[in-house]
Structure 1
Amino acid sequence: MQENRTARLTLLIDPVKKKIFEDICASQDLTSSQVVRRLIREYIQQNAGGRDLPEWLKGSN
């Protein structure tokens, strides 16, 4: 089973930080969504504790 990308996460961020973040993402040929998904995945892996994670979420990036 793969990651289901139908859920939406809305967050508020300072406009200046948003612009800098988007510029950095673009300079690496990545979308801001790709980077946020990677950050969330890494955070879950590092902080899951004893939670049962799907196989596709357990491994390294």
Structure 2
Amino acid sequence: MEQKTARLTVLIDPAKKRALEQLCAQQDKTPSQVVRQLIRDYLKQHGIAWQPGGADPDTLEDTNP
């Protein structure tokens, strides 16, 4: 896990939250772990290079042509 963290608030309906929590519990993961992985995958999918540990977002490179 990254050393520095920042809070991200996401609003979802209660039924989806319960379903996510139940699935995460079955997989021995936390919802935060799942969301962090989704974000990493999304950045990679769009060719965004990032540095673990809190790089300045203004210095991140878009590697898409």
What is the TM-score of this pair, normalised by structure 1?
0.72
- Alpha-carbon distance in structure 2 between the residues aligned to 1:53 and 1:29: 27
CA deviations on 1:34-58 (whole Å, 9 max, x unpaired) are: 000001000000112xx44338xxx
Q: Where is the helix percentage greater, Structure 1 or Structure 2?
A: 1
Sequence identity, in percent? 54
> Higher strand share goes to which structure?
2
- Gapped runs of 5+ residues in structure 2? 53-65
How many residue pairs get aligned? The number is 53
> After TM superposition, which residue ranges in structure 1, 4 or more long, deviate above 4 angstroms?
none
RMSD of aligned Cα (Å): 2.2
Note the 1:22-33 alignment, pairs <5 A. 22-33=21-32
Cα distance, 1:40–1:52 mapped onto 2, change above 3 Å:
closer
The residue that corresponds to 1:53 in the other structure is: 50
Q: Which residue of 1 aligns with 2:34?
A: 35
